[in-house]
Structure 1
Amino acid sequence: MSSKRRCEDSNNINVYKKTRMDGPSNVKTRVASCDNDNDRIFLEFPNSLVNALNIALDSFMDEKNWMGYIALVPLKIINSNAADGHEGFPFSKAYCCTERYTTQYSFGSIFRKGLSMLIEFILHRTTPENKQERFVLGKLLHYLFDRMDTDAEAMKNMETYMETELTAVITNHLFGKLSTSTLFTIDKHCKGNSRGERNIKTNKPVCPCEKTDCELSGDFGDTSIGNWKVWHGNVDVMVNNEVVVASPDVEAESSSTEKSPVNVKLKSSSLTGNPQIIAQNIVFSFLQKHRHPENDNFLCPCIGVTSKDIVVYLYDSIYDVLLESTIIPLHGMIASPNNNINLVAVLVSWLVVNYKYLCDGVMEEMKTMKADFFQQAEAKLSIYEAQLKAGEVGNACFTVYTRDILKNLHHPSLVELKKRKRLIFMEPSEK
């Protein structure tokens, strides 16, 4: 694959990269409205973490940095069952064959707003004037300063968790902590040992991590999205109703066998080109466009997770652009002094769960690299555009017949059918 570095625009990120290597300026420089917000994190954030952030940011902009480059590759859909002529398919049975375009982009190219905010803080300890954006930046700084060591401890031994436990732990100790809201919903039909366990005193669901008395900031509920006529089903986790988290399913949806730790451990390679995650990402983007037409852009993310890695898919349902990130390790690489959680993974997670505030949307040149989903789903594109919903998806395709209704149907009774069936196997002399 040929590789073209794509960071350049009117707010050239390379300019920031060039200047930020000089290190942070004096802590006493201006901090916008810090005192008014009664939040000292912007003044007290330690230089040791500033330096670590400075190094980690190279992964978003520098193709030749020693840690590895977080790239985004546009995908083209060659074939799929997104518009089957007879029925829709659940996400676990979604088929979506893709191929990669030869051009790749830096992860930072679509998050220039978020990286600019962070770089300005690193350089000058300056915070955004916009209160919401300042709050989003504060979420990252508080996590790094106050929580990361504790949450990293909870995310040890990830390979021992069942599938649902895995997504619950990562969301509770990473994605949820970095989002503007810590609330999230876990699929109530999930499989896993932690399902239904609650703290006796608070009645809150218990986190399946190894920490004692750790509670989930989310809860179990209906996470179904889509339409039974097209792709549909339950996503593993919905963060703040804005981001989908999915763990690749190696078993059929109808299987009743629980996911074993061995299966979870073997699934890292299945993050790349995963049809289940791609289907969820596409459906969710169309759903967000329908529910929130006021949004600035509809490049909506879906995070795929395993016990060791994460990957980010982003689909824009207006421009029909599908992007896939490189695999990002959860541990190692750039870590804080007291734990081995990957700081690059933390930054990726922060940018993605707050994409509504930090993402610029697809670049102009990306718009020519179509996913061709519109063509693939042409026969049912109107359903994707206007008939998707969240919650109770799939119920409409089933008709519940009560005993009273059955009496009025012009069909033989079950007893009569059984009599007819027995006649087939009777000897002529017995009839």
Structure 2
Amino acid sequence: MEVQHDTLRRGLKNVRDNFLKFGFLNIDWCNATQSKDFSDADVNYRVMREYVDKWPRVLCFHFTDLFNDGIKMLCDLQNDYGKFEKLQLHEKKAVQRLYDFFTDLGSHEENLKKVLGKSPVTETDISVALAEHLLGKLSSDCTYVIDHKLAKGKGTCKCGCEKLPHFGNTGIGHEAVWHGHIDVVFSSHLDQPPSDIAIKTIGKCEPEVPAKEEDEEETCCSPPEKKRKREGNLEETKESTGGKSIADVKHSPLDGARKQTIAQTIVFSLLQKQNHPDLKNLLVPNILISPEEMQIIMYDAKNDVLLCSNVIKLFICNEFCLGAVIILWMVLHYGMFLNGLLIDKLPMLDEYKSHFKELTQAKWNIYSNLLKGCVSNFPVIEYEGLDFNVDFFFCAKNVLDNEEQV
């Protein structure tokens, strides 16, 4: 238990240094009113800034603000593990899952490397390995479903563990607007309220193109993290957790998949709101993850607020970044640990909205009432853009008017 406590202490310190921040995104334009698969979703967005003494500053929340309940619980356990017995059952199961993961860190790393280190490695192999040996190991009483379209010719996990992945229908949305299939969907049977979560997986990233921003002082890099104890030695490393500025989100190797993930996040959150109208917290996260790094995108379907984190690395010197592991654990249990949008810190909420609702007003009834989940395939819209309730009536009226004139 002492080893797990030491691992928790170092990982928690990393998280509390606030290397993960969430910036507010404003959508200038999107094709969400058209019948578009997520892979064809197009979103023009920008990171919101405010000016302080004529200098731009990114508007953002710290991870520790949004997940304060989870941070406080881990800090209490770090100071006095006897408080574990006072936790509720679902909290105990979640904490035990994290401690079990810390106990067997080396094994989880090894299993992932067996798959993710291969060249080439398929999208399906990446999704299965991350689901089985990272995301699934951190989740409690959860089931996951991988997009059935990735299942052709695939068997067990390629690390040799003989785990048989579960493939199924992960389609969400509506054929008249944004729709498509999520790579992996985790469904919790533990958290109250429910905390289903969508995962977007991508392959290995290309080298990043350096980019400078006018507000470079906002770069969100964490302090150096110590390597884990091995054979009694605790070595220092100059490597950081690899946090990148929120302002650099458009320059990350993940950018090719980010627009798709934004579309999925918004639709998934709106579907959660439709299925669970009594939920008080409608800020729903989505995880964009590669074998090397990850990013968290969240959308509040009630207040129309879109948040995007900076990119952080999963591994440092071929070992798990402990801070990233704790963040993943909390996000996967967001129904338990996420405080929700900090309304008291947003006195002028309208200024922080993404404007997605305004941009999709013509199809808002679909997004708010008619979204579907667990869909196998979406029908093709042959006459895209034709609104039969309006356009057909308009055309018929023109015909009658012309006949009267004759």
TM-score normalised by the chain length of structure 2: 0.72
Q: Which amino acid aligns with 1:244?
A: A
1:89 aligned to 2:32?
A: no
Structure 1: tracts of 5 or more residues without a match: 1-44, 64-68, 199-205, 249-262, 334-338, 400-431
Q: Which amino acid aligns with 1:92?
A: S
Residues 177 and 342 of structure 1: is their aligned pair in 2 closer, same or farther, counting only changes over 3 Å? same
Report the equivalent of 1:416.
Answer: none
1:74 aligned to 2:29?
A: no
Give the CA deviation at 1:196.
4.0
Report the equivalent of 1:227.
Answer: 174
Q: Which amino acid aligns with 2:70?
A: G
Q: Which amino acid aligns with 1:383?
A: I
User: Which whole-Å CA distance do the structure 2 matches of 1:179 and 1:292 have between them?
Assistant: 21
Q: Deviations over 1:334-359 (max 9, x none)?
A: xxxxx711111211110111101111
Contact 1:73 1:103 in 2 (8 A): yes
User: Which whole-Å CA distance do the structure 2 matches of 1:196 and 1:234 have between them?
Assistant: 19
Residues 397 and 247 of structure 1: is their aligned pair in 2 closer, same or farther, counting only changes over 3 Å? same
Q: Deviations over 1:219-258 (max 9, x none)?
A: 011110000111100111111261111125xxxxxxxxxx
Contact 1:143 1:177 in 2 (8 A): yes
RMSD (CA atoms): 2.2
Give the CA deviation at 1:305.
1.2
Give the CA deviation at 1:183.
1.8
Q: Which of 262, 275, 287 is the aligned partner of 2:271?
A: 287
SS at match of 1:240: strand
Report the equivalent of 1:49.
Answer: 4
User: Which whole-Å CA distance do the structure 1 matches of 2:375 and 2:22 have between them?
Assistant: 34
Give the CA deviation at 1:105.
1.9
User: Which whole-Å CA distance do the structure 2 matches of 1:315 and 1:51 have between them?
Assistant: 34
SS at match of 1:310: strand
Q: Deviations over 1:88-132 (max 9, x none)?
A: 100000001111122122111111111111111001111243221
- Higher Cα radius of gyration: 1
Structure 2: tracts of 5 or more residues without a match: 49-57, 189-195, 209-251, 383-406
Contact 1:83 1:380 in 2 (8 A): yes
Report the equivalent of 2:15.
Answer: 60
Matches within 5 A, 1:353-392: 353-364=332-343, 365-366=345-346, 367=349, 368-392=351-375
1:152 aligned to 2:112?
A: no
User: Which whole-Å CA distance do the structure 1 matches of 2:368 and 2:340 have between them?
Assistant: 19
Contact 1:163 1:264 in 2 (8 A): no
SS at match of 2:316: coil
Matches within 5 A, 1:2-401: 45-46=1-2, 48-63=3-18, 69-84=19-34, 88-101=35-48, 102-125=58-81, 126-127=83-84, 128-145=86-103, 147-156=104-113, 158-160=116-118, 161-190=121-150, 195-198=152-155, 206-208=156-158, 210=159, 212-216=160-164, 218-240=165-187, 242-248=196-202, 264-266=204-206, 269-272=252-255, 274-332=258-316, 340-364=319-343, 365-366=345-346, 367=349, 368-392=351-375, 394-397=377-380
Q: Deviations over 1:304-349 (max 9, x none)?
A: 111211111111100111111111111117xxxxx71111121111
Q: Which amino acid aligns with 1:345?
A: A
SS at match of 2:109: helix
Give the CA deviation at 1:266.
2.4
SS at match of 1:295: coil
Aligned residues: percent identity? 28
User: Which whole-Å CA distance do the structure 2 matches of 1:388 and 1:343 have between them?
Assistant: 37
Q: Deviations over 1:1-23 (max 9, x none)?
A: xxxxxxxxxxxxxxxxxxxxxxx
Report the equivalent of 1:36.
Answer: none
Q: Which amino acid aligns with 1:136?
A: A
Q: Deviations over 1:112-171 (max 9, x none)?
A: 1111111110011112432212221121112212x3221111111625321221122111
Report the equivalent of 1:16.
Answer: none
User: Which whole-Å CA distance do the structure 2 matches of 1:58 and 1:376 have between them?
Assistant: 41
Contact 1:60 1:106 in 2 (8 A): no
User: Which whole-Å CA distance do the structure 2 matches of 1:105 and 1:60 have between them?
Assistant: 14
Give the CA deviation at 1:267.
8.4
Q: Deviations over 1:388-431 (max 9, x none)?
A: 111226544479xxxxxxxxxxxxxxxxxxxxxxxxxxxxxxxx
User: Which whole-Å CA distance do the structure 2 matches of 1:97 and 1:320 have between them?
Assistant: 16
User: Which whole-Å CA distance do the structure 2 matches of 1:389 and 1:130 have between them?
Assistant: 33
User: Which whole-Å CA distance do the structure 2 matches of 1:52 and 1:179 have between them?
Assistant: 18
SS at match of 1:156: helix
Give the CA deviation at 1:59.
3.4
Contact 2:170 2:376 in 1 (8 A): no
Contact 2:68 2:338 in 1 (8 A): yes
Contact 1:225 1:393 in 2 (8 A): no
TM-score normalised by the chain length of structure 1: 0.68
Structure showing greater relative contact order (alpha-carbon pairs closer than 8 Å, 6 or more residues apart): 2
Residues 97 and 270 of structure 1: is their aligned pair in 2 closer, same or farther, counting only changes over 3 Å? farther
SS at match of 2:280: coil
Runs of 4+ in 1 over 6 A off after TM superposition: none
Q: Which amino acid aligns with 2:277?
A: P
Give the CA deviation at 1:56.
2.2
